């Protein structure tokens, strides 16, 4: 398959390497050209523009930071809408708002192009191992066209229906639940610390049985070790996603009080200079509120 890839950040780098390693004809583009060097050495072509990355491609994957970036890439002058061939697929794998995905879907349809929304679940190390979860939504035949890519990027594809915005809603909901779990752990660890108990004890109790899931094991361990500097998902990214969750909830008239709590904790962490640390640093913010730090 002839594949273009735009966005070579923490997730884009390992994902694009999986595509290249799967034997696909890959061309990559990134605003910071230095990030293309490793992939070029591994055999990928390097595009000089978005139009160049689209030329003759079956699928172009975007993995960019936010709504503003994906709209610029897709809808800006010389972007995907202007440059993809008829019937080519924009495979949007970043985390974006419901409204942004609706806008992109309409724009591509008007240009006789295809659109699949397929945000991923997992951190960079999971991406490197090809073990991401993928939530895919769009017309069934178009999603099926992307399946060879899903097979090498992820461990499982969750089909979220024919409406592309459904995948965005699933991804945002998943991140909300994860954020709420981190916030709950932060509160619990602060409570036991106030009673003179080492957080490791609670961690062992939690993850021995009832909460023996990766989310609790990975983020609970980060909180116990206070290893916030090794950011797999930054606090600033968490705030972006909570704002997207609340925007989607507002549009659908769904009250989500817990999402507001997580957002406020993230805002506090950012105000204290922890925006680029792992979003588990919400636990440090909870400690501050509890008089521990």
Q: Count the alpha carbons within 13 Å of 154 in the hemisphere toward its beta carbon.
A: 20
How high is the pLDDT of residue 25? Answer: 96
Q: To 5 degrees, how large is the angle CA 247–CA 250–CA 253?
A: 150
CATH class of 169-289: mainly alpha
**What residue segments make up the domains of the chain, in order of their start?**
2-163, 169-289
pLDDT given at position 169:
97
Asked if 2-163 and 169-289 have one fold, the answer is no
C-alpha torsion 63→66→71→72, nearest 10: -80
Active site residue 171: yes
pLDDT by position in tens, the chain (length 293)? 999 999 999 999 999 999 999 999 999 999 898 999 999 999 999 999 999 999 999 999 999 999 999 999 999 999 999 999 999 999 999 999 999 999 999 999 999 999 999 999 999 999 999 999 999 999 999 999 999 999 999 999 999 999 999 999 999 999 999 999 999 999 999 999 999 999 999 999 999 989 999 999 999 999 999 999 989 899 999 999 999 999 999 999 999 999 999 999 999 999 999 999 999 999 999 999 999 97
Query: What pLDDT was estimated at residue 232?
Result: 87
- In terms of Cα–Cα distance, which of 33, 34, 37, 61 is closest to 49? 33
**CATH (residue range 2-163):** 3.40.50.720
The answer to whether the CB of 5 falls within 8 A of the CB of 16 is yes
Find how far residue 136's CA is from the centre of its chain: 13
Q: What is the pTM of this model?
A: 0.93
DSSP state of 3: E
The β-bridge partners of 172 are none
Give the pLDDT score at 293: 73
Report the sign of the C-alpha dihedral through residues 241, 242, 248, 251, in that order.
Answer: negative
Could you say which of 10, 33, 144, 171 is catalytic? 171
Nearest to 108 by CA among 69, 88, 127, 81: 81
Residue pointed to by tokens 């929304």 = 117
Q: Specify whether the CB–CB gap between 125 and 37 falls below 8 A.
A: no
**DSSP sequence for 144-193:** HHTHHHHHHHEEEEEE--SSTHHHHHHHHHHHHHHHHHHHHHHHHHHHHH
State the pLDDT at residue 3. Answer: 98
Element (H, E) at 87: none
Q: Please name the residue ranges forming H helices in the chain.
A: 12-21, 37-42, 50-54, 67-75, 80-83, 98-110, 124-128, 140-145, 147-153, 165-194, 199-208, 214-225, 235-252, 257-271, 282-289
Instruction: Compute φ and ψ for 259, nearest 5 degrees.
Output: -65, -35
């Amino acid at each position: 398959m002839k594949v273009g890839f735009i966005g070579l950040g923490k997730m884009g780098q390992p994902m694009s390497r999986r595509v290249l390693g799967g034997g696909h004809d890959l061309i990559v583009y990134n605003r910071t050209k230095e990030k293309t060097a490793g992939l070029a050495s591994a055999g990928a072509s390097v595009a000089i523009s978005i139009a160049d990355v689209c030329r003759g491609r079956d699928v172009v994957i975007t993995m960019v930071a936010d709504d503003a970036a994906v709209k610029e890439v897709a809808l800006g002058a010389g972007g995907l809408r202007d440059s993809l061939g008829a019937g080519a697929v924009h495979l949007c794998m970043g985390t974006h708002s419901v409204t942004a995905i609706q806008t992109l879907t309409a724009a591509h349809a008007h240009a006789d192009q295809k659109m699949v929304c397929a945000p991923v679940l997992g951190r960079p190390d999971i991406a490197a191992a090809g073990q991401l979860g993928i939530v895919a939504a769009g017309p069934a035949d178009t999603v099926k066209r992307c399946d060879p890519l899903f097979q090498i990027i992820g461990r499982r594809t969750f089909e979220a229906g024919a409406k592309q915005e459904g995948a965005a809603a699933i991804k945002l909901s998943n991140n909300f639940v994860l954020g709420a779990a981190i916030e709950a752990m932060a509160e619990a660890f602060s409570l036991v610390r106030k009673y003179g108990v080492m957080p490791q004890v609670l961690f062992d109790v939690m993850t021995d049985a009832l909460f023996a899931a990766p989310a609790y094991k990975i983020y609970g361990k980060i909180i116990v070790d206070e290893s916030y500097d090794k950011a797999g998902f930054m606090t600033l990214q968490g705030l972006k996603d909570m704002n997207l969750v609340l925007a989607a909830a507002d549009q659908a008239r769904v009250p989500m009080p817990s999402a507001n709590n997580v957002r406020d904790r993230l805002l506090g962490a950012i105000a204290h200079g922890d925006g680029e640390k792992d979003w588990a640093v919400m636990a440090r913010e909870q400690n501050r509120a509890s008089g521990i730090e």
